[in-house]
Amino acid sequence: MDTIFALASARGRAGVAVIRISGPEATRACQKLCGSVPSQRGLRKIRGASGEVLDEALVLVFDQGRSFTGENIVELQVHGSTAVVEAVLRRLEGLDNLRLAEPGEFTRRALENGRLDLAQVEGLADLIEAETEAQRVQAQRVLSGALGQKAEGWRADLIRAAALLEATIDFADEDVPVDVSPEVLALIESVSGTLRIERDGVGIAERIRDGFEVAIVGPPNAGKSTLLNALAGREAAITSEVAG
């Protein structure tokens, strides 16, 4: 498995930027940059290929199996200027056996290593994009694994129902004292009922996630901008007392 690195925080000037390294060579890369690797966290000077100081960073180390990707991870919390970030990324790019991560590759590795399921990946994406409290709450619920746990319960019930039916067929010629039909029907009805509840909630969940698009339509100078500002409770559109 390749060792990958990328800027994990948003691009642009900021107080702090996070550069993530994930893979078997993560700690070695940290040692190349910092001289020593903290057991969990510590302040380290990041040096260039010629030994010059690029920045002083908070270094966080996550062991395999307890990290976001399920691999060894080192995170460098550097000062968030464009110059510092680019210098550290160039330094990492110059190391052997490291490459720049593809878009979404950290999350893909978390999925492949069993740290997240598909529903949690979607929940993570929704949480990153959340703009309202309702969107945050919904995304957090999905990210917590609640939906995946429900799906595992449905799967277990259906497997048991199938096993009971197969046992009845396999031992049809023998005197089987227990009639499994009531239990099979109960299992199927239980799964079917909870699936219907989830299906009925899809529309509401989509409205929360996607929000609403509202158009205010009217002739020129009818007061559309004034109405928008009144609804928004702020100056969302520029208005003037002078018509037009």
The predicted-structure confidence for 102-149, as pLDDT tens digits, reads as follows: 999 999 999 999 999 888 998 999 898 888 898 898 888 888 888 888
Measured from the Cβ of residue 44, the count of other Cβ atoms closer than 10 Å reads: 20
CB 180 within 8 A of CB 160: no
User: Which pLDDT does position 174 carry in this prediction?
Assistant: 65
User: Which pLDDT does position 55 carry in this prediction?
Assistant: 92
Burial 9-40 (b: 16+ CB within 10 A, else e): beeeeeeebbbbbbbebbbbbbebbbeebeee
DSSP line for 160-175: HHHHHHHHHHHTTTS-
CA distances from 172 to 68, 140, 183, 189 (A): 50, 49, 18, 24
CA distance 182 to 190: 12
CA distance 47 to 144: 39
User: Which pLDDT does position 202 carry in this prediction?
Assistant: 79
Return the domain boundaries, the chain.
3-113, 118-210
**3-state secondary structure (DSSP) of residue 131:** coil
Q: In what helix (H) or strand (E) does residue 46 lie, and over which residues does it extend?
A: strand 41-47
CB 98 within 8 A of CB 20: no
The number of CA neighbours under 13 Å toward the Cβ of 141 is 10
CATH placement of domain 3-113: 3.30.1360.120
The full length of the chain comes to: 244
User: Which pLDDT does position 175 carry in this prediction?
Assistant: 63
User: Which pLDDT does position 241 carry in this prediction?
Assistant: 62
C-alpha closest to that of 29 among 64, 7, 68, 61 = 61
User: Which pLDDT does position 240 carry in this prediction?
Assistant: 62
Profile the chain (244 residues) by mean pLDDT over runs of 10 residues: 91 90 93 89 91 93 90 94 94 92 94 90 90 88 86 92 85 67 90 89 81 85 86 78 59
User: Which pLDDT does position 121 carry in this prediction?
Assistant: 92
